[in-house]
């Protein structure tokens, strides 16, 4: 491994994102090359006080979630809609029941009425 090749691996070495196949020749080179040792040390020092590039703003996320509060909104919606929905369902069920009752008893009621009607008014006039 020569110096430029070794220096290409420095950031990987410092971030410890380096495999053994790269690390072993690199360390072998560093062991024998003072220039690269100094280079790496300079890089290590300048690299050290490294603020995280991105840190999640958890406080902001939490506030946003609290502002949105989807559960609360759904709960309020549910509480507002549910009584209406229940009444509508009950009305529908009642209508359905009445309809079934009507369909079951109407033919019977008709035949009963026809049977009970003893005299046709026209018949009586004759």
Residues forming contacts to Zn ion in the complex (CB under 5 A) are 3, 6, 33, 36
Q: Do residues 10 and 45 make contact, with C-beta atoms less than 8 angstroms apart? A: no
- Residue 30, CA distances (Å) to 23, 96, 99 in order: 10, 88, 92
- DSSP structure string for 34-59: HHHHHHHHHHHHHHSS---S----HH
The minimum distance between CB 29 and Zn ion, in angstroms, equals 6
Q: Do residues 25 and 35 make contact, with C-beta atoms less than 8 angstroms apart? A: no
Q: With respect to Zn ion, which residue has the nearer C-beta, 6 or 13?
A: 6
Q: With respect to Zn ion, which residue has the nearer C-beta, 12 or 33?
A: 33
Q: With respect to Zn ion, which residue has the nearer C-beta, 3 or 68?
A: 3
């Amino acid at each position: 491994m020569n110096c430029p090749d070794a220096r290409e691996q420095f950031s990987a070495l410092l971030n410890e994102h380096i495999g053994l196949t790269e690390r072993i020749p690199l360390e072998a080179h560093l062991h024998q090359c003072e220039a690269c040792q100094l280079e790496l040390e300079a890089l290590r020092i300048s690299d050290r006080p490294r603020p995280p590039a991105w840190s999640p703003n958890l406080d902001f996320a939490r506030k946003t979630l609290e502002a949105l509060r989807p559960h609360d909104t759904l709960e309020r919606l549910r509480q507002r809609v549910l009584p209406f929905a229940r009444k509508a369902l009950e009305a529908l069920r009642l209508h359905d029941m009445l309809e079934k009752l009507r369909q079951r008893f109407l033919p019977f009621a008709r035949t009963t009425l026809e049977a009970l009607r003893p005299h046709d008014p026209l018949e009586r006039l004759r």
